[in-house]
Amino acid sequence: MWGLARRHHGRVLLRIEDHDRGRSRDHFESAILDDLEWLGLEPDEPPIEVLRHGPSPYRQSDRANRYAEVLAGLRHRGLVYPCRCSRRDIADTGAAPPGAEARYPGTCRELGLDSDEAVGLRVIMDPGEETFTDVLLGTHHQTPARQCGDVLVRDRLGQWTYQFAVTVDDWDQEVDLVIRGEDLLSSTGRQIRLARMIGRPDSPTFLHHPLVLRPSGEKLSKANRDTGLAELRQAGVSPETLLGEAAFRGGLLEEARPLEVEELPGLFG
């Protein structure tokens, strides 16, 4: 994505998506910054050194006030309601086949629960379709009310959700091209809807790319002890070798060969 953005003379933003502070730790953040510096993929904003030394609007855990402000706007228009359901409650409604996304059936929508308690907050998803054209995958139609139901924006622990935080950030940071893995394709319609609801006049363009998977088809993850960049770096693999391998797997090179960062933009015709 760094190469594609450079090719189109875009600015590359680095955002630390640690809205769920319970799971994110400072050392994960420094590891990501170390990896990017080592690969030579420096963002235009913010400078990595600035991010290392203090609060930043590019770190979601530093943006709680802004999320609260946007949420207040939605509440004022009657589009938000408290929900006390757990994930388990929603799974137990049995609406979704095993492995499919659980749709929230709207259990608490009419209950008028008190939002001072430890409850989640949901935004009402009206029926209706969202249509968008993915750069790689073409035109898609999604109906958030059928896929996921009313979207959770803050959970029962007071943590902002991914769906809400990225929608606010993409707007505030004027992101007009979102490049991400195709595991997030099903979230796109609801993010476009949320963006419109909070007042963003235009939608960003989306590009969903294939993921490198384990042979079993699962995503790579630390929990599965998949090799991370730090291990490869320690094993003496060069940044150029890794970039070349990634470009080859992404279909940008005919065969794997060492690649300099400066060559990346040229791979995107």
How many amino acids of this chain bind Zn ion (CB under 5 A)?
4
Amino acid at 84: R
Token pair for 233: 């770096």
Residue among 123 and 195 whose Cβ is closer to Zn ion: 123
The reply to whether 148 sits near Zn ion by the rule CB under 5 A is no
Tell me the closest approach of the beta carbon of residue 107 to Zn ion, in angstroms. 4
| Of the candidate residues 4, 5, 80, 85, the single one contacting Zn ion (CB under 5 A) | 85
Nearest 5°: phi and psi at 252? -95, -15
CA–CA gap between residue 225 and residue 191 (Å, rounded)? 31
Smallest gap from Cβ 168 to Zn ion, in A, equals: 23
Contact between residue 248 and residue 258 where contact means Cβ atoms under 8 Å apart:
no
In the complex with Zn ion, which residue's Cβ is closer, 93 or 133? 93
Cβ of residue 23: shortest distance to Zn ion, in angstroms? Answer: 23
In whole angstroms, the minimum distance from the beta carbon of 112 to Zn ion comes to 12
DSSP assignment string, 10-72? PPPB--B--SSTTT--HHHHHHHHHHHHHHT---SBS-HHHHHTS--TTBGGG-HHHHHHHHH
Residues 65-84 interacting with Zn ion (rule: CB under 5 A): 83
Mask of contacts with Zn ion, 87-126, x by CB under 5 A?
Answer: --------------------xx------------------
Q: How far is the CB of 113 from Zn ion (least distance, A)?
A: 8
Q: Tell me which amino acid residue 91 is.
A: A
- Contact (CB, 8 A) for 228 and 234: no
Closer by beta carbon to Zn ion, 108 or else 247 = 108
Reported as type and span, the H/E element at residue 178 is strand 177-181
Closer to Zn ion by CB, 107 or 143: give it. 107
Point out which residues bind Zn ion (CB under 5 A): 83, 85, 107-108
